[in-house]
């Protein structure tokens, strides 16, 4: 009976060995490095940097093994007993717990499709209307602006004068082109003068703003081009999620009794 039990135990030990080995990626100085450590490194890599291919997985495996090598040496040297280690561990514990709480808050307080759609509708309402494709020439004095208007009326090219005379470095190089924009994108004096112009029309008199004197021409007018809901939904949802989290953080800060 004894021999029979011994044989059974040996058989069990032999059959269990491959299974036990599969749970480890290596044995370092007699101590196993469990596969779960590699899995944790892979999960962190995927979350912060992207998919893990075979090469990356092998590199992470070697990192897990090296960590065990270094940990064993750190333990041998008594690092865990130092005050600095205790301080760093406490900071790490706080960081992990806080991050876990915030992640849990985001999961339990998701931004709904209805909230995103409502925010999109507000954006559309605020930005609806006309857009203008305008050009301008910016100069420092009213006299210079009037001289340029006179030249344009006599046949000089607006675009050429903008390139050579405009003090606006952004649009000047492009012949004064300001691209498509709503009237609200400009300072009040500029926008008020611009919206009075028809397509192809130029201001008869220079327009003064805080930047200098402008000569404005409207090349085209159209209804504002709004992105579709599906195009901006991810961006709006992400931004609203951040706003929710910030509001949660402020709420905790305001409720806390700090003496």
Angle between helices 229-255 and 83-108 (to 10 degrees): 130
Mean pLDDT across 42-51? 92
Q: What pLDDT is recorded for position 101? A: 97
Residue 250 has pLDDT above 50, yes or no: yes
Residue 6 has pLDDT above 50, yes or no: no
> Are the beta carbons of 224 and 128 closer than 8 angstroms?
yes
Residues of the chain with CATH 3.10.50.40: 129-223
Compute φ and ψ for 176, nearest 5 degrees.
85, 5
Position 126 confidence tier, pLDDT thresholds 50, 70, 90: confident
Q: What pLDDT is recorded for position 127? A: 81
Compute φ and ψ for 26, nearest 5 degrees.
-170, 165
**CATH class of the domain at 21-81:** mainly alpha
CATH code: domain 129-223 is 3.10.50.40
Spatial CA neighbour of 172 closest among 161, 180, 181: 161
Distance (Å, whole) CA 179 – CA 170: 11
Give the largest Cα separation in the chain, rounded: 120
Q: What pLDDT is recorded for position 1? A: 39
Q: What percent of the chain has pLDDT over 70?
A: 92
Residues of the chain with CATH 1.10.8.1040: 21-81
Task: Report in angstroms the alpha-carbon separations of 205 from 5, 135, 164, 214, 250.
Answer: 109, 15, 20, 9, 52
Q: What pLDDT is recorded for position 159? A: 97
pLDDT digits (tens, 9 = 90+) for 158-202: 999 999 999 999 999 999 999 999 998 999 999 999 999 999 999
Calculate the CA dihedral of residues 17, 18, 21, 27 and round it to 10 degrees: 60
Position 9 confidence tier, pLDDT thresholds 50, 70, 90: very low
Mean pLDDT across 35-41? 94
Position 22 confidence tier, pLDDT thresholds 50, 70, 90: low
Structure tokens at 171: 């649009």
Residue 122 has pLDDT above 70, yes or no: yes
What is the SS3 string spanning the chain?
CHHHHHHHHHHHHHHHHHHHHHCEEEEECCEEEEHHHHHHHHHHHHHHCCCCCHHHHHHHHHHHHHHHHHHHHHHHCCHHHCHHHHHHHHHHHHHHHHHHHHHHHHHHCCCCHHHHHHHHHHHHHHHCCEEEEEEEEEECCHHHHHHHHHHHHCCCCHHHHHHHHCCCHHHHCCCCEEEEEEHHHCCHHHHHHHCCCCCCCECCCCEEECCEEEEEEEEEEEECCCCCHHHHHHHHHHHHHHHHHHHHHHHHHHHCCCC
> Are the beta carbons of 64 and 41 closer than 8 angstroms?
yes
Structure tokens at 187: 């300072």
Position 4 confidence tier, pLDDT thresholds 50, 70, 90: very low
Structure tokens at 168: 């606006």
Distance (Å, whole) CA 154 – CA 160: 14
Position 2 confidence tier, pLDDT thresholds 50, 70, 90: very low
């Amino acid at each position: 009976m004894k021999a029979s039990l011994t044989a059974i135990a040996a058989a069990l030990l032999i059959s269990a060995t491959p299974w036990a080995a599969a749970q480890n990626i290596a044995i370092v100085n007699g101590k196993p490095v469990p596969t779960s450590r590699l899995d944790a490194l892979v999960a962190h890599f995927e979350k912060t940097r992207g998919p893990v291919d075979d090469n990356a997985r092998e590199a992470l495996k070697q990192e897990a093994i090296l960590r065990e090598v270094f940990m064993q040496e750190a333990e041998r040297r008594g690092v865990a007993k130092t005050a600095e280690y205790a301080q760093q561990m406490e900071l790490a514990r706080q960081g992990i717990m806080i991050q876990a709480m915030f992640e849990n808050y985001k999961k339990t307080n998701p931004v709904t499709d209805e909230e995103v759609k409502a925010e999109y509708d507000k954006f559309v309402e605020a930005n609806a209307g006309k857009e203008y494709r305008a050009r301008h020439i910016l100069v420092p004095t009213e006299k210079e602006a009037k001289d340029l208007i006179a030249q344009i009326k006599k046949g000089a090219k607006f675009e050429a004068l903008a390139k050579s005379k405009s003090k606006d470095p952004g649009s000047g190089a492009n012949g004064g082109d300001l691209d498509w924009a709503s009237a609200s994108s400009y300072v009040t004096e500029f926008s008020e003068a611009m919206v009075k112009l028809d397509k192809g029309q130029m201001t008869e008199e220079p327009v003064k703003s805080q930047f200098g004197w402008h000569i404005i021409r409207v090349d085209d007018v159209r209804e504002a081009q709004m992105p579709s809901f599906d195009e901006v939904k991810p961006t709006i949802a992400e931004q609203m999620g951040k706003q929710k989290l910030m509001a949660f953080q402020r709420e905790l800060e305001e409720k806390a009794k700090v003496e």
